[in-house]
Amino acid sequence: MYAKRPARTRRSLAGAALVVAMAVLLAVVVNSAAPRSEDPVADAAASVPAQTAAGTTLRVAADGSGQYRTISEAAAAAKPGDTVLIAPGSYASFQVPTSGTTDKPITFQAGPGGKVTLTSGGTSNGRLDLSGRSNLRFVGIGVSKSSRFGIYADKAQNIVLQNCEVADSQDGGAVFIAGSNIRIVGCDVHGNNARGTSADMEGISLENVDGFEIAGNHVHDNGEEGIDAKYETRNGSIHGNRVENNRGPNIYVDSAHQIKVYDNISIGAKESSKAGIALAVENYSSTRKTYSVQIYNNVMIGNAGGGMSFWTEGSGSFTDISVVNNTFVANKKAGISIAGGQFAGTNILRNNLFSGNPADVSGSASAFEADHNLFSGSGIGANLITGVVKFVNATANDLRLAPGSAGLDAGSTDAAPTTDLTGAPRPSGKGVDVGAYELQVAPPTTAPVVPTTVPVVPTTVPVVPTTVPVVPTTVPVVPTTVPVVPTTVAPPTTVVPAVSSAPVVPSTVTSPAVSVPVVPPVSVPVVPAEGVTAVPPVPPVPPVPPVQASAVCVPFVPAWVVPAAGSRPGVPAGVTPASVTMSFFPIGLMTVPGPVPFVIPCALPRT
């Protein structure tokens, strides 16, 4: 079912290794000769900056604007810690004669503004052959249309492929055998296995590799498997990839162990026997075991062979397999298909969501501890979750659970990953959601925002009583203007003789006509400062003196007095008594023209 002529593959790779060894020996002989003076390599090497502890940047440009015209020339001069910076464009393939060191790798990097593609040359193994090399980084360096493999490495260590494009190779795209610490990150791997089902290897192939990371790649439209970790490959992770439209399986773990497969989206594996994610044991394996594999936070959509499958070519075993918080939707066959193999250890099926598959689980799942799964049909295990599943947008393959969907907060925290496929925290809300996504609810810190707005309302309430005192504040303005009339009539100089008018205070207290209607209780705190300084006891309005006289008759002795001319202050000499009279007011003596009565207070001494 999944077997791929391993014997022929091994023979071809062994023959390739012999060719590589001969090529390396020839290169040593050629490079040992001193370059001719007319050799462009000699001229370019003379312009290389001196090596520093931090490494040197060696610049390559096909138009001659750099230190080197070819990558091969720069690679021959590169030392550990150096960076070969390559101007964007198409170049011939190259070999790397020198490895870097653990703390000083050699970096080959595309310059800003474009990408670098190797479109010609290479060894019998492919465009870029890294066999036997170590501590090398390739950033933005791609390969295209290799007649063999795109990038190939046998027994390579500490190799990084980053932001690369590996396209349209006749056989596998990026192939690593018997190496260690391999990282392929952020690459676009597509159109490989162009020769069809007779092609060797896969889009990305790891065989007997110890330590790896395959992350953030787009692996699509390859003629065999998309990502394949096989034959004792171990201690690594396949995560954050979008793997789609490969012949399939899109992600394949075959006779491998200690591997995590998480946060991937697997769509549309084409072959009817190929699942989105498959675990298998093929006959080529020496151990015939797949064990300690964790499958979580993955989404499988529309794969021809089902969402996930277990299969053995002859015999083999699966041990300690964990399938937690995955989403299986609208696959052409079962969400999970168990077609063979012996199971041992602890195998878990938990917090998974199944929807729109012909069957949720086919084959016997008795070897699994199944709980808290949401099945679209009859389910298995404990704590089954039921109800209507609502996705945000299933048509656009957005399979996040929408508010109100079944499965929200319904999962188990036991062995659940602490983040979802997007990296968002889990749980969020009352519990763990089933499937690969966790609906993010508002954090608790937003709750205090509501009471914070509540005090704003009472804060505006005091504004109303604040305006109420404004009304009585305007009331005292009226009596303030009343004293202005006598002030304009009597010159301030006539006020001085009335300093002895202290008894006037009780006179105003006993005067009901003055105190009741004019000074309301509300205005008392506002008026005194003006009333006392301007007019100590506020009298009635001067235009009606008879009323005032009768109102203050108790402490006063009213009398009509016609003083002799010039006999009192304020009566000028030569003025007849008939034309001037004197009147006493609480504010003192003043001259008033006309027939006005003269009122003498009881305590005022007479002259």
Nearest to 416 by CA among 435, 398, 402, 403: 435
Check: CB of residue 274 under 8 Å from CB of residue 280. Answer: no
Residues forming a β-bridge with 251: 227, 277
Separation between Cα atoms, residue 166 and residue 218, nearest integer Å: 11
- Please state the domain extents for the chain: 53-358, 545-567+575-607
The number of residues making up the chain comes to 607
Max distance between CA atoms of the chain, in angstroms, equals 152
Complete DSSP assignment for 341-394: -EEES-EEEES-EEES-S-SEES--TTEEEES-B-SSS--SBS-B-S---EEEG
**Angle, vertex CA 329, rays to CA 324 and CA 334, nearest 5:** 85
- Residue 90 CA, distance from chain mean position: 38
Check: CB of residue 64 under 8 Å from CB of residue 90. Answer: no
Calculate Rg over the CA atoms of the chain: 50
Residues of the chain predicted below pLDDT 70: 1-53, 443-607
Check: CB of residue 116 under 8 Å from CB of residue 144. Answer: no
- Phi then psi dihedrals of residue 21, to 5 deg: -60, -40
Please write down the long-range contacts of 406-414, taking CB distance under 8 Å and 24 or more positions apart.
406/374, 407/353, 407/374, 407/433, 407/434, 407/435, 408/433, 408/439, 409/433, 410/372, 410/374, 410/385, 410/434, 411/325, 411/350, 411/351, 411/372, 411/385, 412/350, 412/351, 412/371, 412/372, 412/383, 414/350
pLDDT of residue 57: 97
Check: CB of residue 55 under 8 Å from CB of residue 108. Answer: no
pLDDT of residue 95: 94
CATH 1.20.1270.10 fits 53-358, yes or no: no
pLDDT of residue 444: 56
Instruction: Look up tokens 């009333």; give the residue.
Output: 531
